[in-house]
Structure 1
Amino acid sequence: MSRDYEQFPDDDNGNVLWQMHEDGDDLDEAHEIEYSIAFTDQEQAERCALFLLNEEQKISLFQDDDSGVTEWIITIYVYMEPAYADIVDLEEWFTKIANQFQGEYDGWGCMAYVYDDEDEEENYPV
């Protein structure tokens, strides 16, 4: 099957969605997509987390020391069909929110379920 560049544009998001499609993932089914915002300041992370909760978003907040630099990571869980335009819209919204609280939008990812002869799970981070 040739790639439909209107559905799967030639950028990071389009490439990940195309790869998911090529791997057999059903993009017409809802997935729990995880969007991340990173902070160097705990107070700003907590303020942003409260803002997102007030916006009725499902989130988690944790401290990450793995990179040698302490960061606070907010993960926003959105249950949605992984459509390119919707992902781009949410990325823009989360980037705006991240900037408002001196954080940095850090991408999205989701578990993909591929059903072949054997059930397999793959993780697609962007």
Structure 2
Amino acid sequence: MTDRDYQQFPDDDNGDVLWQMHQDGDDLTEAHEIEYSIAFTSQEQAEKCALFLLHEEQKISLFVDEESDLKEWIITIYMYMEPEYSDIVDLEEWVTKIAEQYQGVYDGWGCMAYVYDDEIEDDESPASLNS
């Protein structure tokens, strides 16, 4: 196990997630599809925000979260980028400002892990959750 580089992985939530990805063997030099989410209690505001983001040429999805206690509309913005700390922080600030403009709440980011196992043979498939 290597020591954490606090320049690359600062001591906060974003740094912790990126450090965990690195520890898990995720290649952070590869571009990932990172998802930033905004939650809305108003369908009208969610749709206005979605339209704005589409005009900004962003790849998005909009769905209703029926599972939450109060009905929420969730916009997910999909950014294809290297998961680099300062870029993530900058995008969080941008998404937070947009969320506030449309009475939404920034709800965090996430992405799929990109872990490659060099020992996989041609006839083997990568490990999956379906065992």
Structures share a fold, TM > 0.5? yes
Consecutive unaligned residues in structure 2, runs of 5 or more? 121-125
In the TM superposition, what whole-angstrom CA distance separates every residue of 1:35-94 from its partner, at most 9, and x where no partner exists? 000000000000000000011100000011101210000000000000000000000000
The separation in 2 between residues aligned to 1:8 and 1:53, in whole angstroms, is 32
1:61 and 1:73 in contact (8 A); partners too? yes
Consecutive unaligned residues in structure 1, runs of 5 or more? none
RMSD, matched Cα: 1.4
Q: State the Cα distance separating 1:113 from its structure 2 match.
A: 2.0
Q: Secondary structure at the match of 2:113?
A: strand
Alignment correspondent of 2:9: 8
Alignment correspondent of 1:32: 33
Q: Which amino acid counterpart does residue 72 of structure 1 have in structure 2? A: W
Alignment correspondent of 2:86: 85
Task: From the superposition, tell whether residues 107 and 121 of structure 1 become closer, same or farther in structure 2 (CA, over 3 Å).
Answer: farther
TM-score by length of 1: 0.92
1:111 and 1:121 in contact (8 A); partners too? no
Q: Which amino acid counterpart does residue 102 of structure 1 have in structure 2? A: Q
Structure having the higher Rg: 2
The separation in 1 between residues aligned to 2:127 and 2:9, in whole angstroms, is 23
1:113 and 1:121 in contact (8 A); partners too? no
- 1:1-126 alignment, distance < 5 Å: 1-116=2-117, 117=119, 119-120=126-127
The separation in 1 between residues aligned to 2:92 and 2:9, in whole angstroms, is 16
> How many matched pairs?
122
The separation in 1 between residues aligned to 2:98 and 2:81, in whole angstroms, is 20
TM-score by length of 2: 0.89
Task: From the superposition, tell whether residues 8 and 121 of structure 1 become closer, same or farther in structure 2 (CA, over 3 Å).
Answer: farther
The separation in 2 between residues aligned to 1:113 and 1:91, in whole angstroms, is 21
